[in-house]
């Protein structure tokens, strides 16, 4: 297991820069997510680490070792591909044993080499040695696939194929485990189960893991730390809570969870409170800023619905409900305030009534929950 | 740095070897034959590389180089006649094939003509029969002692219905045996041309036949022109028919080239004819690509709708009769060869005087060697082309090697007889004296058939996702190990289908076999050719039947393999 350090990574594809200024410091045993919309460069970053792309400039160290001169097959990074990339002509056991065969191939003499090659082409002709057999069966047991060892991968369900891919990467005891959108081909329910499985295995084995995803929920629920990427650059690195409560840009605020992002002008700054004018409304925040044109960010769940007759606090405003969506434990209101459209989440307890479309609503938010960027 | 390292791994070495192979056996021979057309004498390319004296000799040869040969082509000599006759033949054949194919293709694509399925199936038969067998079948049908001639005379005709030993004879054989090459592309062209345009025409009051002439037909023109060019090229390169049927006073470029080298050892003459052949074939190939690129009506308007097939009996019945007549002729020809193979004697009568299996017994006792040779040579060519094609398709698909892609198209353009002459000249002397060996024969076969193999393997290669290979590399395999353990096995179905195709076409191969095969390695095609030349028709017939049966069985196997692959 090792740490992964990336410094000033840059990648050009025929003159077009697709990655720049990528700095990552991933600690041993950490579960690290690269999060961003498609085309942001997250997969390219991972492929640079795996060695499938060679960086235009910058260094990559795996376990304190510069890997620039190492071919992809010498890097010992287990990779789980988006499509799983299981070998369709081999059964589950042979798939998982592949890297162990390769290891044997490396130290074998010519005669033994032919034996190993034959086994890789047809494992019925040349049998596996005991150690390999045990290692493979152990890892298959771990991912609960012991009964499927002799099946062809095409006979397995999506979730099972995913676990074969995981087992195949884990059995080589990689320095770092790379996962490229591993859950995107699974249905919603299976995705939740697999999240837990992957997290459990990662923590059990304490294996450094880099996980590429475009799904913020997936990243938030699984990763220790997340790097948010956009247009080939890293915008922010932090823990999930960090990113959620202190997004550095409005893009992150919007991408990580839902946010109300409103443009405004700073009109006053006193007593540790910044006052911003948004439309006809004034909103106060504890965030300090030196800028004049700013963006005000408020999470939907931080907006409170005030009952009629509550005294006007400083951060209270009125709006008209456009649309109400019942989501089980919460109700989401789309509210029109002045010329702006905002989203408000309220907890729903049985017995509560849902407000009608078109009715007026009084809202408030505490200055601690208002973020200014 | 990384790149440099990759080039020197196993796979880089393989690429280098393949480049070497193409350079040695394809590029150098073609360049050398071009040079010989000026020097008039074979140039010892490899000798010049190893010996200084030889180099001096070669340089002197170049000093004496002339363009006399090129002059002679255009000074109305026999070469010029040969070229003009060949062009005329190809033009006649391609035009007639078009005329014949239009009704059949329309019938298959657009109507519910009776026996459509049967006719379609029978249309593939001419493709499996080597042309020199079809040519010879025409001799025993239309020749002086043929049964057609017998019937013709009984009906009151005089002499022969048509003389197979003539330009007309050659053209008719080629028309009836090459038409399937044009038929299927034309069926596709008729299917693809947008039916809604026809409906629009009909909607505006145009009658059925008028719609065909004004809309359907013009829309299919680009497709038809390009297929006509295919037929032109096939006819121009065909060696089997003219070598059997061309009378000595009829100059055809393929036959002339063969006679120059096999009969008179006239290197310069053979070289200039070879250069001309390649030039013509190249121009035709270029034209064909140009046509396909230029006007593509296919994409004119969206997806073709489901075609409403015509059920008009007044149209479909004549179409079916015509199509039936066209496919009947190749079948009658094959039937005649079969009857001859089991005939005791067959004079000028509609049927043989008696039946026997004696000819087959003779084949299996005295000519078993030819069958064996064919199988061994084809197997050799198969192994070589499997290895090369597998790696070539890897380089073409994964590393986008356009050079190799081009190299495997070249054999498709160069006529067989031209390629054969180029090889014979280049490897005629020490230090690389290979002419007259089975080795160079196998190499010639495999290079000539490589395009088919590569097409098949490139197809399967494209179907293998890149990440499968990356997964293997990620798990520690080198590119070569990944190729052997993952890519290779996954390509197996494509390789199998392609290799049967190679095997079949090598068994059928005429020009290279007749030109290059040494006596001790004579394959079936050469044996049949020699039998026909010696007028030993019965054993030629028996051997032909065996050859066609082998081809049919293997072709069916290939279809099954590639069909099973798709589902």
pLDDT at position B302 is: 43
pLDDT at position B304 is: 46
Packing angle between helix B147-154 and helix B131-142, nearest 10 degrees?
30
Q: Are B470 and A85 a contacting pair at CB < 8 A?
A: yes
B467 CB within 8 Å of a chain A CB: yes
Q: Are A79 and B474 a contacting pair at CB < 8 A?
A: yes
Superfamily of domain covering A4-245: P-loop containing nucleotide triphosphate hydrolases (3.40.50.300)
Calpha distance B462→B466 (Å, rounded): 9
Q: How many angstroms separate the CA of residue B485 from the nearest CA in chain A?
A: 6
B481 CB within 8 Å of a chain A CB: yes
pLDDT at position A26 is: 95
Domain A258-372: which CATH number of 3.40.140.10, 3.30.70.890, 2.40.50.100, 2.30.180.10: 2.40.50.100
Q: Which residues pair with A227 in a beta bridge?
A: A34, A237
Which residues 114-173 on chain A approach chain B with CB closer than 8 angstroms? 117, 120-121, 168-169, 172
Percent of chain A at pLDDT above 90?
51
Peptide bond into B431 cis (omega under 30): yes
Q: Are A71 and B5 a contacting pair at CB < 8 A?
A: yes
Q: Are B474 and A78 a contacting pair at CB < 8 A?
A: yes
How confident is chain B (567 residues) per 10-residue block, as mean pLDDT? 52 88 92 86 78 80 74 72 92 94 88 88 85 90 85 82 89 93 83 66 66 72 82 92 90 90 84 91 87 53 58 86 92 91 83 86 87 92 91 87 88 91 86 84 92 86 87 90 88 83 87 89 91 87 91 81 51
Q: How many angstroms separate the CA of residue A68 from the nearest CA in chain B?
A: 8
Best of A62, A82, A120, A136 to mutate (most B CBs within 10 Å, chain B): A120
B204 CB within 8 Å of a chain A CB: no
| Biggest CA pair distance of chain A | 90
Tell me, what DSSP letter sits at residue B520?
G
Mean pLDDT lowest among A29-38, A364-373, B215-224, B480-489: B215-224
pLDDT at position A373 is: 85
Best of B482, B485, B567 to mutate (most A CBs within 10 Å, chain A): B485
Q: Are A121 and B485 a contacting pair at CB < 8 A?
A: yes
Superfamily of domain covering B1-41+357-567: MetI-like (1.10.3720.10)
Start and end residues for every CATH 1.10.3720.10 domain found in chain B = 1-41+357-567, 67-356
pLDDT at position B565 is: 44
Q: Which of A83, A89, A172 is facing B465, going by the closest CB pair?
A: A83
pLDDT at position B298 is: 45
pLDDT at position B303 is: 46
B471 CB within 8 Å of a chain A CB: yes
B283 CB within 8 Å of a chain A CB: no
Q: In chain A, which residues have their Cβ closer than 8 Å to the Cβ of B5?
A: 71
Nearest to A208 by CA among A28, A50, A342: A28
Q: Are B476 and A117 a contacting pair at CB < 8 A?
A: no
Kindly identify which residue of chain B lies nearest to residue A50, measuring between CA atoms: B474
pLDDT tens string B51-75: 788 778 878 877 777 777 677 666 6
| 3-state SS assignment for residue A151 | coil
B486 CB within 8 Å of a chain A CB: yes
Section A346-354 average pLDDT:
82
Q: How many angstroms separate the CA of residue A327 from the nearest CA in chain B?
A: 40
Say if residues B538 and B343 touch (Cβ distance below 8 Å).
Answer: yes
pLDDT at position A62 is: 93
| 3-state SS assignment for residue B50 | helix
B475 CB within 8 Å of a chain A CB: yes
pLDDT at position B5 is: 47
Compute the mean pLDDT over every residue in chain A, rounded to the nearest whole number.
90
- pLDDT grade, residue A169 (50/70/90)? very high
Calpha distance B359→B365 (Å, rounded): 10
pLDDT at position A14 is: 86
Inter-CA distances, B181 with A270, B101, B235, B237, Å: 88, 10, 11, 14
pLDDT tens string A249-307: 989 998 888 889 999 999 888 888 888 988 888 888 888 888 889 999 999 999 988 87
CB contacts < 8 A, A to B, total: 78
Kindly identify which residue of chain A lies nearest to residue B482, measuring between CA atoms: A102
Inter-CA distances, A35 with A46, A166, B136, B372, Å: 12, 20, 73, 65
Percent of chain A at pLDDT above 70?
98
Inter-CA distances, B21 with B14, B387, B423, Å: 10, 12, 13
Inter-CA distances, A104 with A74, A115, A195, B470, Å: 14, 10, 33, 20
Location of structure tokens 């001096």 = B56
Nearest to B251 by CA among B163, B167, B362, B335: B167
A188 CB within 8 Å of a chain B CB: no
Section A16-44 average pLDDT:
93
Best of A94, A98, A179 to mutate (most B CBs within 10 Å, chain B): A98
pLDDT at position B300 is: 42
Q: Are A76 and B468 a contacting pair at CB < 8 A?
A: no
Residue B263's Cβ-side half-sphere holds a number of Cα atoms within 13 Å equal to 7
Q: Are B472 and A77 a contacting pair at CB < 8 A?
A: no
Q: In chain B, which residues have their Cβ closer than 8 Å to the Cβ of A77?
A: 474
Kindly identify which residue of chain B lies nearest to residue A172, measuring between CA atoms: B475
Q: How many angstroms separate the CA of residue A87 from the nearest CA in chain B?
A: 7
pLDDT at position B464 is: 86
Calpha distance B127→B132 (Å, rounded): 12
Section A77-96 average pLDDT:
92
The residue extents of the domains of chain A are 4-245, 258-372
Q: How many angstroms separate the CA of residue A340 from the nearest CA in chain B?
A: 44
Kindly identify which residue of chain A lies nearest to residue B476, measuring between CA atoms: A73
Q: Which of A69, A73, A106 is facing B473, going by the closest CB pair?
A: A73
Which residues 82-101 on chain A approach chain B with CB closer than 8 angstroms? 82-83, 85-89, 98-99
Q: In chain A, which residues have their Cβ closer than 8 Å to the Cβ of B472?
A: 87, 98
Calpha distance A47→B466 (Å, rounded): 13
Best of B471, B477, B495 to mutate (most A CBs within 10 Å, chain A): B471
Superfamily of domain covering B67-356: MetI-like (1.10.3720.10)
Best of A48, A102, A116, A122 to mutate (most B CBs within 10 Å, chain B): A102
Packing angle between helix B313-341 and helix B78-110, nearest 10 degrees?
130
Inter-CA distances, B223 with B87, B195, B369, Å: 21, 16, 45
Q: In chain B, which residues have their Cβ closer than 8 Å to the Cβ of A212?
A: none
pLDDT tens string A310-343: 666 668 888 899 988 888 888 899 999 888 889 9
pLDDT tens string A173-205: 999 999 999 888 888 888 888 899 899 999 998
Pairing of strands A31-35, A225-230: parallel
pLDDT at position A129 is: 92
Predicted-complex ipTM score: 0.83
How is B224-259 classified by DSSP, letter by letter?
A: HHHHHHHHHHHHHH--HHHHHH--TT---HHHHHHH
Q: Are A85 and B6 a contacting pair at CB < 8 A?
A: no
Beta carbons within 8 Å of B30's beta carbon, 6+ residues apart: B278, B410, B414, B419, B422
| Residue B277 structure tokens | 């052949």
Give the count of beta carbons closer than 10 Å to the beta carbon of residue B179.
27
Q: In chain A, which residues have their Cβ closer than 8 Å to the Cβ of B484?
A: 117, 120-121
Best of B472, B474, B481, B496 to mutate (most A CBs within 10 Å, chain A): B474
């Amino acid at each position: 297991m090792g740490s992964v350090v990336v410094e000033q990574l840059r990648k050009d594809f025929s003159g077009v820069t697709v990655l720049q200024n990528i700095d990552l410091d991933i600690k041993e045993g950490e579960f690290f997510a690269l999060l961003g919309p498609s085309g942001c460069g997250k997969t390219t970053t991972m492929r640079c680490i795996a060695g499938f792309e060679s960086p235009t400039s910058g260094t990559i160290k795996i376990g304190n070792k510069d890997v620039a001169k190492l071919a992809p097959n010498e890097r010992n990074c287990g990779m789980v591909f988006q499509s799983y990339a299981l070998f369709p002509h081999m059964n589950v056991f042979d798939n998982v044993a592949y890297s162990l065969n390769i290891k044997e191939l490396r130290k074998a003499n010519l005669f033994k080499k032919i034996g190993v090659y034959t086994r890789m082409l047809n494992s019925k002709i040349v049998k596996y040695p005991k150690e390999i057999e045990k290692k493979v069966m152990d890892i298959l047991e771990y991912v609960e696939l012991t009964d499927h060892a002799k099946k062809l991968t095409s006979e397995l369900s999506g979730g099972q194929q995913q676990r074969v891919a995981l087992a195949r990467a884990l059995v080589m005891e990689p320095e770092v485990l790379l996962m490229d959108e591993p859950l995107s081909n699974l249905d919603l329910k299976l995705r939740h189960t697999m999240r837990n499985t992957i997290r459990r295995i990662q923590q059990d084995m304490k294996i450094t893991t880099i996980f590429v995803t475009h799904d913020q929920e997936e990243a938030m629920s699984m990763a220790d730390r997340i790097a948010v990427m956009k247009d080939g650059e890293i915008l922010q690195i932090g823990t999930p809570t960090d990113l959620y409560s202190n997004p550095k840009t409005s893009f992150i605020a919007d991408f990580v969870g839902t946010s109300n992002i409103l443009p405004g002008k700073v009109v006053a700054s006193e007593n540790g409170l910044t006052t911003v004018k948004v439309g006809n409304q004034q909103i106060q925040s504890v965030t300090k800023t030196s800028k004049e044109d700013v963006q005000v960010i408020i999470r939907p769940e931080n907006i409170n619905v005030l009952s009629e007759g509550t005294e006007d606090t400083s951060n209270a405003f009125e709006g008209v409900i456009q649309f109400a969506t019942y989501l089980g434990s919460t109700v989401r209101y789309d509210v029109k305030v002045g010329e702006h459209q905002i989203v408000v989440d309220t907890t729903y307890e049985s017995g509560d009534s849902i407000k009608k479309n078109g009715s007026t609503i009084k809202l408030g938010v505490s200055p601690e929950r208002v973020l200014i960027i | 740095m990384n790149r440099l390292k990759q080039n020197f791994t196993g796979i880089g070495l393989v690429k280098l070897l393949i480049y070497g192979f193409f350079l040695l056996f394809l590029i150098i021979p073609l360049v050398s034959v071009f040079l010989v057309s000026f020097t008039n004498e074979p140039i010892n390319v490899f000798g010049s590389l190893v010996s200084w004296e030889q180099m001096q000799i070669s340089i002197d040869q170049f000093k004496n180089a002339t363009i006399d040969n090129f002059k002679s082509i255009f000074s109305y000599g026999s070469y010029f006649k040969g070229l003009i006759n060949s062009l005329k033949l190809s033009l006649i054949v391609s035009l007639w094939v078009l005329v014949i194919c239009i009704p059949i293709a329309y019938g298959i694509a657009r109507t519910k003509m009776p026996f459509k399925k049967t006719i379609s199936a029978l249309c593939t038969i001419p493709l499996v029969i080597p042309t020199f067998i079809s040519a010879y079948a025409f001799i025993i049908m239309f020749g002086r002692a043929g049964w057609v001639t017998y019937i013709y005379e009984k009906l009151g005709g005089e002499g022969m219905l048509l003389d197979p030993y003539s330009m007309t004879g050659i053209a008719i054989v080629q028309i009836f045996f090459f038409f399937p090459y044009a038929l299927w592309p034309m069926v596709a062209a008729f299917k693809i041309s947008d039916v809604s345009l026809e409906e629009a025409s009909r909607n505006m009051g145009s009658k059925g036949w008028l719609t065909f002439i004004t809309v359907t037909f013009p829309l299919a023109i680009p497709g038809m022109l390009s297929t006509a060019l295919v037929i032109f090229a096939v006819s121009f390169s065909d060696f089997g028919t003219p070598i059997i049927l061309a009378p000595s006073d009829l100059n055809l470029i393929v036959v002339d080239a063969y006679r120059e080298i096999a009969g008179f050892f006239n290197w310069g003459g053979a070289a200039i004819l070879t250069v001309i052949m390649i030039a013509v074939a190249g121009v035709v190939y270029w034209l064909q690509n140009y046509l396909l690129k230029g006007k593509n009506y296919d994409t004119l308007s969206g997806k073709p709708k489901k075609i409403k097939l015509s059920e008009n009996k007044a149209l479909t019945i004549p179409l079916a009769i015509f199509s039936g007549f066209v496919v009947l002729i190749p079948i009658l020809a094959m039937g005649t060869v079969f009857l001859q193979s089991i005939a005791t004697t067959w004079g000028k009568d509609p049927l043989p005087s008696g039946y026997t299996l004696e000819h087959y017994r003779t084949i299996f006792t005295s000519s078993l060697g030819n069958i064996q040779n064919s199988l061994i040579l084809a197997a050799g060519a198969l192994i070589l082309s499997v290895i090369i094609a597998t790696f070539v398709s890897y380089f073409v698909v994964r590393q986008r090697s356009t050079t190799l892609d081009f190299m495997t198209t070249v054999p498709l353009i160069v006529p067989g007889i031209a390629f054969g002459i180029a090889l014979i000249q280049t490897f005629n002397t020490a230090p690389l004296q290979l002419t007259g060996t089975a080795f160079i024969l196998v190499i010639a076969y495999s290079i000539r058939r490589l395009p088919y193999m590569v097409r098949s393997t490139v197809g399967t290669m494209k179907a293998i996702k890149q990440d499968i290979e990356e997964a293997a590399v990620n798990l520690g395999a080198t590119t070569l190990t990944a190729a052997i353990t993952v890519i290779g096995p996954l390509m197996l179905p494509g390789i199998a289908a392609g290799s049967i195709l190679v095997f079949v076409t090598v068994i059928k191969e005429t020009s290279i076999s007749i030109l290059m095969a040494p006596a001790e390695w004579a394959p079936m095609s050469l044996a049949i050719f020699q039998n026909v030349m010696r007028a030993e028709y019965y054993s030629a017939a028996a051997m032909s039947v065996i050859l066609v049966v082998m081809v049919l069985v293997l072709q069916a196997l290939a279809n099954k393999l590639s069909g099973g692959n798709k589902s």
